[in-house]
Every structure is written in C-alpha cells, then in structure tokens.
Structure 1
C-alpha cells in the first residue's frame, strides 16, 4: 500500500513502500509489550480491592430480595460496581503516584513504574466512571448509579485528595466510600435503602479502621517516608491498638444488630466470627502493652476472612433462612 505525500499527488508517482515483516523476536517483544500494557491498566483498578467490595454487594442484594435475585440483575450490578470501583482506584493511583513511588508496598504500581502515562490513567479512570454510571442507570436504576458516582467522587476528592495527607482520621471518614457497595446493591434491587443495609454499612465503617491500621502498623515506615499521617505514624502503638479494640467492639456490636432481621444461620456465623475478631484484637493490644513485638498482620488477614464470612452468611441466610422479624422494603 502506498500513501500520497501531499494533497493532490498521485500514489502512482511514488513507488509503494514495502514494510519488512517483523522478525520472530520482534513479534514476541510486541506481544509481551501489549500484555504488559493491558496488565498495567488492569492493575490500576486494584482488582484485589474490587473483589472485597463485591463480596459485600451480593449479600445486600440477597437480603433486599429476601431470596435469590435474578442472575441478570446480580451480574449487571457487579459489572457496574466493578467499573465504579475500578474508576475510583485508577483515579486514586493518579492522585497517589508520588506516594506510591516512595512506599515499598506500592512502588510496583503502574504509575510508580511509569508503565502508563499519567494522562492516560486519568482518562481511563474517568471513562470507567462514566461507563459505570451509564451502565447502572440502564441495567438497574438511577439511584444505584447516583450512589456509585457519589462513592467515586468521595473516594477521589474527599479521601485521596484531602483527608489522606492531612489527618490521622483519614481512613475513618475515607472508609465511607468502601461502605457504599452495600447500599448500591440494596438500591439496585429495591430502588431504596432499607435499614439492614445501613446496619451492614455500619459494620464495614467500623471494620475499616482496624483493618487498615493493622496494615499501617506493619508498614509504618513506608507511610512515614511518604508523609501520610496514618494513625500508627503519628500516635504511639498503645494508642493505635486501643483504637483498634474500640472499633472492633463497635463493629461486632453493629453486626449483631442484624440478628433480629435474620435467622439462626447468620447468628451462627456472626457471633463466633465476632468473638474471634475481638480475641485477636485484644491479643494485639495485650502484646503492645507488655512490650512484646506486635503481630498486626494476623489481625489484618483475619479481618478479610471475617468480612467475607459474615457477608456470605448474610447472603445464605437471606436465600434459605427464615426471617424472625421482617422489615419493610
């Protein structure tokens, strides 16, 4: 194929330019480059965080339906939620690029390694947000779409751009964005938000500080080097573990408020899981008070397991359990 060099010039006046076929090593390199690029854009969305958010979306839908929702609505809500969470996480990567490059835990992220241009990441995040809003509005309802947009904006502008670098309470209030999948899932089913959704919203709200502070205790030097005033950076360990215990008790107490609106299935999981979480939180507290090296990552990993366990229990209870006390939708 030949191309005219300027307007009005015939391609016949210039011989065709034949491009050489790429060699096998060049083709392989191109394939690897494409794979790396795709992987980098996927990494911007922080898939592991999205998995945790979706775990709380599905139970809320089951609880709102008080049975198994239609497969289409579940899939549509999960797709829309994934796009929204991916948007928030990608935009967070743009805002936190300087922090990520300093911290050992995050220096492998795409923008820290310059695998994706910052402008491209910004456009990518915005497009995901627009897609999530449009898709949720079409597939579910406008309330779910509006809640998703509110979660993105809150996470990016309130938490990432304002709270994170200014206050040790950053994750307390910033964690509100992570609570939104519950009300989004409920709203996708009913078009409203029932009180059980707000209760589970509270569970995640109180769960977020112990979960995050445990991680921040392990990577305290990273956060300090990046200038992020997480509580373990600006407060003594004794203060941190005391706060972890307080929030853990509030979380477990909030989780038990769902028992009157559930059956024995949820209670059989929520009670022992809550006791186990409290036990580990108190062990961490006692170790710090006695001057024994703390093991915060035990609590961090348990926190993921705890949230998964009670979320699944809530979903199973709604699907097959017998409601003791019902609630208006």
Structure 2
C-alpha cells in the first residue's frame, strides 16, 4: 500500500499509480507524497452518480485533484458558490439559475436601496446623453455643461426665489381707497423685467456653484452611486472647460442681478456661490457641521426674491438696510421664508443621507447619518416642528391671510408624523424613505398654499370681478363730507340747501 496513491477515472472507479512514476519526482519524495494523499472521509462516497446528482460532471484526468470533504458537502454549496468553467459544465437548468444570480448580483445596490429607489436625476440623464454623442459634437459638450449645473436643484433654487418675490406685500396692492387702487394699477406687484433678471441671475449663480462643487470633489463622487455618473467623473469634459463654465456663469449671474435687480440681491447671489463652493463643499470632509452651512445656502435664495421685490417699493435710498432690515418690520416676511427653506433642508437631507450612509463613510464625507445616527434622526424631528410657527409668522407679518395657518397645518403635521417615525426607528422599517418623500411633497404644497392665500389678493379679485369698490361705506362717507364742505363754502345764507347739509346749516344759524 505504501507504493500507491489514489485518484478517480472518468467512470468513477479507483485507479492506482506509483508515486515513483511522477515525472521529476526525487527519490526521497515518496513518503511526503503519501502523507499528502491519505484517504479522506468522503473517499468512498465520491462516485459518478453523486456527482451527477449535484449537477456537475467528474473532472477529466488532466485536471484531477484529491477529493476533500468540501467537495461532497451539499448540492447548494457546489452549484451556488463554485463558478462554472469549461472543465465543469453545468446542466441547462443550473446554467439558467446561475445566470439569474449573476444578473441579481450586478443590479444589487451596495447600500440599503435608498439610492436605487430614487429616480435618476437630471445630471445623470444629461451625462448619459453626452456619453452617447460623438466625442467632438456640440450635443456632447452642451449636455455635459448642462449636467454640471444640476438642473433639478437649480430649478428648485429659482422657484424658492420667485415665490417670496410674488408674495411680497406691495403697499399699493393692499390699499383699499380709490387712490390706492389707482396707485396699484400704476405700480404692478410684479415687474416682468425685474423677474426676468432675477430668475436669469439666480439660475446662473446656482449653475456656477454646482459646477464648482463638482470640480472640487470628483474623487469622492466616483465612490458613490448617486454621483459616479457625473460628467467630470466620466471625463466627458476637461477640467479647463468646467472652470471656464463655472467662472462665466458666476460672473454673468452676478452682473445680471446687479444691473437688472439691485446691488443687495447681487451681493446675496455672490455670497451663495462662495458659501456653497468655498465653505460647504470643503467642510464635507472635515465636520458634520457642513449640513448646517448647506442649509444657510438654501435659505439665501428666498431672501434674494424678497429683496428684489422690496427694491421696487423702496421709498428711501434702497440700501441693504432698507431691503432686509426695514424699521417698520416689513422685512420680516423675507426672513421667515429664509427660515422655512433653512429648516426644510434637515427633514429632507437627513433621511436621504441615512439611506446611503455607508457610501458617505467609504467616501470619507463626514455626514451626521453615520457619525451619529441617533442625533441625525433628532435633528430631522427638531426642524420639522418649526414649520407650524413659521406659517403662523407669515400670517402675522401680513404676507398671507390667516386661513393659511389652517390650510398648512395638515401638511405640517404630516411631516412631523413622518419625522417622529424616523426618530423612533432611526431610519429603519422604511421610515427614512417615508420622511424623504414627505419632504419632497411638503415644500411645493406649502408654497402653493401661500401663493393661493396672499394677503389681500382675493379681495382685490372680488372687486375686479364685481366692478365695485372694496369698501363702499367709506366711499359714501367721503362723498358726504365733500358735499357738506362745498355747499357750506359756497352759500352764506343757506337758501336752497337741501339734504343733510341743510339741516346742519339751519341749526348753525339759529
């Protein structure tokens, strides 16, 4: 027995050979070879029938190897874990199962599916369009440049500036007298030219800030599912082209705001670029405070819209003090809108970041979702509670009717309920996804409700439809007073005076 080893033939039977027959084997290698080829526990179970039941065939002599216990464990282990090769062909149904497993493995997200549950953003779609276009085509260049601007985020920024502009309480618009109505007709509550410059400048400033953000972190973008398709990561654009695009958009945006709106709005636009690209983006690698800095960036566009409308109605020199810190308290509405957008960032971003917290951690970005998950949930709940007093403040400041406090309450309570669930389960049991989608719907609904209940809007609409003054009693009282004054001045004896003035004149003469 000392001169024999063991292996298996193609038919499954035992075949004996001498260790001395091994080519190039030294004379003293026989004992060592025997120690390596001792009989294993599964030796007598390894046969062709068992191999066929496992869905595999026996190895050919060219690839013979000693049989181990792991080779005879279970069919599931053999077919699921061992990849199919040309030497070990799988049966047809096993090949179909392996193909399905490979497909699932390729489409499976490395995180907990928050990234895959979101629809592809506009930047990713534009980057795909650019990648399919010819290398030097105009379509490829324009699609890649537009992808740098993050179109969906830019649209949200522009809308957050337009709503406060539309809701600014123009004094002449709220006037109830005929003189006030005439003044309101002469001074519209919305200037189309100012609105055009405001939206254009805000769009360009947002595009510049987003492009600078992508220029700063292509290495971390490449490590995350949400950002790995960005144009600079895929090298659809050169760095020089991206820098020129960002600089051009920033200069043109600030110039449009300065020349077409006012210097205060232009300063706010430039400050937004500096904060987003120069403070928020670098802080993402340093501290979780970056989220609060990003929330400040989100609160600036509403102030821009408010200051643009206030500049049209300014009675003084129109400086930043008058537009943003008016002594009569008329600037309060702008700060309330800024607070609303600032607070909204947290119930929106905290559940979104929690869903991809492992990607943030792997990329080296210090987000609260993985640094302190419990505090991440508490912050989302804390800021969701402030929407109720903010909506009440808009009513008290004369920006909206008091009915807005009632109609906005169910939407705010819905957000609070989802935030409570997110805090209680710390993002698990679907609470993160529920809060994220609640925040997505919450902001546009609040904005639409505020626009529909602007202070004095429906009273003015009613007076325009009926053709009657808003306050008929005041008008008649004014006419009576003027009649008495004219009659009293034009008649010394009171003869021929009729009506209320006659009685008053008679009593005076007596």
For the superposition of Structure 1 and Structure 2, which TM-score range results when normalised by the shorter chain?
0.7 to 0.9
**Cα separation, 1, equivalents of 2:218 and 2:135:** 27
Post-superposition offset of 1:84: 0.7
Aligned residues of 1:147 and 1:184 also touching (Cα < 8 A):
yes
Q: Please show how residues 37-186 of structure 1 align to structure 2 within 5 Å.
A: 37-66=141-170, 68-161=189-282, 163-186=283-306
2:422 is aligned with 1:309: no
> For residues 155 and 29 of structure 1, do their structure 2 counterparts lie closer, same or farther at Cα, with a shift above 3 Å needed?
closer
TM-aligned CA deviation for residue 312 of structure 1: 2.2
Q: 1:229 aligns with which of 354, 366, 372?
A: 366
Equivalent-residue separation in structure 1 for 2:402 and 2:429 (angstroms): 39
Name which of structure 1's ranges 144-153 and 52-61 shifts more when overlaid on structure 2.
52-61
Higher RCO (CA-CA < 8 Å; seq separation 6+): 1
Larger Rg: 1 or 2?
A: 2
C-alpha displacement at 1:322, in angstroms?
Answer: 6.2
Q: CA deviation at 1:251?
A: 3.7
Q: Write out per-residue CA displacement over residues 208-263 of structure 1, whole angstroms, 9 at most, x where no aligned residue.
A: 12211111011111111110010011113x33212211121124432332122220
* Correspondence for 2:465: none
Q: Is 1:220 the equivalent of 2:361? A: no
Distance in 2 of aligned mates of 1:32 and 1:276: 50
Equivalence for 1:196: 333
Residue 18 of structure 1 aligns with which residue?
Answer: none
Partner of 1:282 in structure 2? 420
Partner Cα separation in structure 1 for residue 139 and residue 412 of structure 2: 42
1:7-60 C-alpha deviation (Å, 9 max, x unpaired): xxxxxxxxxxxxxxxxxxxxx964984222211110100011012112211111
Kept in 2, the 8 Å contact 1:200–1:255? The answer is no
The two structures have a TM-score, normalised by structure 1, of 0.83
Deviates more, 1:252-261 or 1:185-194: 252-261
- Written as runs of structure 1 = structure 2, the 5 A alignment for 1:291-306 is 293-306=429-442
How has the CA–CA distance of structure 1 residues 240 and 283 changed in structure 2, closer, same or farther, with 3 Å as cutoff? same
SS of the counterpart of 1:318?
coil
What CA distance in whole angstroms lies between the structure 1 residues aligned with 2:437 and 2:336?
Answer: 23
Corresponding residue of 2:411: 273
Which is richer in helix? Answer: 1
Q: CA deviation at 1:265?
A: 4.6
Q: Please, which moves more after superposition, 125-134 or 173-182?
A: 173-182
Kindly indicate whether the alpha-carbon contact (under 8 Å) linking 1:256 and 1:270 is maintained by their aligned counterparts in 2: no
Q: Aligned in 2, Cα 1:268/1:59: closer, same or farther, shift over 3 Å?
A: farther
Deviates more, 1:306-315 or 1:80-89: 306-315
Deviates more, 1:259-268 or 1:243-252: 259-268
Correspondences of 1:250-261 after superposition (within 5 Å): 250-260=386-396, 261=398
Query: In structure 2, what is the Cα distance between the partners aligned to 1:91 and 1:183?
Result: 22
Decide whether the 8 Å contact of 1:58 with 1:315 is kept in 2: no
Alignment size in residue pairs? 292
Q: Which residue of 2 aligns with 1:11?
A: none
Q: Distance in 2 between matches of 1:92 and 1:31?
A: 24
| Structure 2 CA distance for partners of 1:87 and 1:219, relative to 1, 3 Å | same
Give the drift of 1:76.
1.9
Cα drift, residue 266 of structure 1: 2.6
For residues 322 and 155 of structure 1, do their structure 2 counterparts lie closer, same or farther at Cα, with a shift above 3 Å needed?
farther
Tell me which moved more, 260-269 or 278-287: 260-269
Q: TM-score, normalised by structure 2?
A: 0.54
| Deviation digits for residues 142-196 of structure 1 (CA, Å, limit 9, x no counterpart) | 11111100111111111112x2111112111222111111111111122312111
For residues 254 and 334 of structure 2, the distance between their equivalents in structure 1, rounded to whole angstroms, comes to 21
Quote the Cα distance in structure 2 between the aligned partners of 1:94 and 1:31.
21
Preserved CA contact (<8 Å) 2:421 2:431: no
* In structure 2, C-alpha distance between the alignment counterparts of 1:281 and 1:29, rounded to whole Å: 43
Q: Displacement, 1:141?
A: 1.1
Question: Retained in 1: the 8 A contact 2:391–2:405?
Answer: no
